[in-house]
Structure 1
Amino acid sequence: MLDRLNPPKLQRARGRAEVGFVQKSGKSKLQHLHQAGCLKAILPNTHEKEPEVVFVNTAGGIAGDDQLNIDVSLTQRTSATFTTQTAERVYRSNGGAGRIDVKLQVGIGASLCWLPQETIIFDGAHLKRKLDVELSTNSEILLLESFMLGRKAMGEQVTTGAVNDRWNIRRDGKLVFAEALRIDDVSSLLGPAALQENLAFATMVFASPDAHLHLERLRAILQTCNARCAASAWDGVLIARFVAADAYVLRKALIPTIENFRHAAMPRVWQL
């Protein structure tokens, strides 16, 4: 009886990672690294021209009232790729929302690739995520975010849950792209105008002064894609959307698409 009146305060995960790069001798070099709590940033040795950062959530996933914060900054003429060690799992919530706040600052002439692996939404999960991007003159960014509603191979079904995902991209303080994804009723995704029987979906955004000029090239790449997909563009922004039966099919579509588009291999943690 007393436990019901005064429920115990559950331990919650807190994590923060800050990573900054600066140009030295014509190469992008680590300038700042801070990590706290359950969130770690690892810089593996690679054979790529630009550095790669892999974020690791040692909590093993996100539950209600967990909080992760990521801050990334690239100074002028630097470049780097950021990803995650594995898929991020969002578990059933007891009431509160798990939160992820990401801030990406891209200096003049810099190039950033944000390529985290998919986010798996479990039944009853509640996620609030915010992605804020600040671009400078002539800088560019490639963003990818993908979702998976349960794991098909495990026979999991997602019937309840909530997702609130907001993106804002600004260039020199001016808003150039904004998107808000809100899912309050998972069953509403089963309609013909939504996912139908599919469980996985993704959005890719490329923001660059000449991004709209790459539309036809991207559409040509998408013609060989094994998932439902489409692309559109306007001044300085290129966007592609993907829908697939499950995470494996989605990955088989995303990996060659992004590799062909950016003329570079995906991070090794993305291997099928």
Structure 2
Amino acid sequence: MSQTAASINQEAGWQASLDLAYANKNGKTCLVKKQHKGPLMVQKPFYPEAEHCCHTYLIHPPGGIAGGDQLQINSHLQDATHALITTPAATKFYRSIGPQAQQQQTLHVEDNAILEWLPQETVYFCAANVLNKTIIHMKESSSLMAWEIQCLGLTAQQQHFEYGQCLQRLEVWQDGRPLMLEMNRFIGGDDFLHSACGMHNHKTLATFIIKDPHQYLDGAMLDSFKPTQDVMVTACTYVNGLYIIRALGKYAEDIKNYFIQIWQHVRPIMLNLDPCSPRIWMT
């Protein structure tokens, strides 16, 4: 391949999309649409806890996401459906020599539908250039448990986020009204990554959002739920009908385990369902 052709190909990157739709068929949540383009797809849905809840595994490009890649993920839960969506491994954004990598995840949760959005962590390698957006649209009767775990660099390999840029947006809407609009901008090597009013030298930040339309949960209970080890900083707030749990830590695994403990505690109270961890988490 010529140098010019290689440059054009790199700027183009992957153009990938995945469209999912779930429907309630006689009490069973069925994945009725799974249209994909490029290296984005889902495995066959699983039903480890009877047919009311469909476990779905999103498969990202096996080589990670590089500069110029554009990924679109759309998921639509129709009335009275229940989906648990996760990923088998971390989503990785690699370094870029210029072009921006973009990912947008748009999730629609209709009346009396339940979404458990529980992906593995997202890792931004040093010198990555990323725009990463997650947008959730719900109804008043929708139930939601969703987390996002972001890692700046590779802590275990001592590879810090010294260069690059990451723009991360997280939006939650209900009936066209914004409940949460958040944007984070991380610049490699910036003082914000080290200052006490910023990341304070933590490499991982995470947000866990819970919407309980039936108000079964107790905010004081969530606020008192502390990690078993003093390896992170956590806080819980209640804003616009959302419980928002935040965590800062060194390792994604610690925060993920903390969020899983909360999820295991909340699920029986909020959904009247025993915790049923995706099998892929065990591998």
TM-score by length of 1: 0.91
CA distance in 2, matches of 1:88, 1:20: 22
Shift of the 154–13 alpha-carbon distance from structure 1 to 2, 3 Å rule, reads same
Matched, 1:246 2:251: yes
| 2:227–2:258 contact (8 Å) kept in structure 1 | no
Query: Equivalents in 2 of 1:18, 1:154: separation in Å?
Result: 35
Unaligned ranges ≥5, structure 1: none
Query: Which residue number corresponds to residue 278 of structure 2?
Result: 267
Of residues 219, 236, 242, the one that matches 2:241 is 236
Aligned position for 1:182: 185
Matched residue, 2:32: 31
Structure 2 CA distance for aligned equivalents of residues 249 and 223 of structure 1: 9
Deviations 1:76-133 (A, max 9, x none): 1111011112001111111121111111111111010111110111110011012222
> How many Å separate the matches in 1 of 2:222 and 2:47?
27
Structure 1 residue 196: Cα displacement: 2.4
Stretch moving more, 69-78 or 245-254: 245-254
Secondary structure of residue in 2 paired with 1:153: coil
**Identity within the alignment, %:** 26
1:10 aligns with 2:9: yes
How far residue 225 of structure 1 moved from its aligned partner, in angstroms, is 5.9
Matched residue, 1:201: 205
Figure out how many residues of one structure are paired with residues of the other and give that number. 270
Aligned to 1:78: 81
User: What does 1:122-141 align with in structure 2 at a 5 Å threshold?
Assistant: 122-141=125-144
SS where residue 152 of structure 1 aligns? coil
Q: Does 1:256 align with 2:250?
A: no
The Cα of 1:260 is off from its aligned counterpart by 1.6
Q: TM-score, normalised by structure 2?
A: 0.87
Matches of 1:149 and 1:245, distance apart in 2: 10
- Structure 1 residue 65: Cα displacement: 1.2
Tell me, which stretches of 5 or more residues in structure 2 are unaligned?
269-274
How large is the Cα RMSD of the aligned pairs?
2.3
Q: For the Cα contact (< 8 Å) 2:207–2:244, is it kept in 1?
A: yes
- Say if 1:178 and 1:225 are closer, same or farther in 2 by CA, change over 3 A: farther
Aligned letter for 1:253?
Y
DSSP 3-state at the match of 1:77: coil
Matched, 1:168 2:171: yes
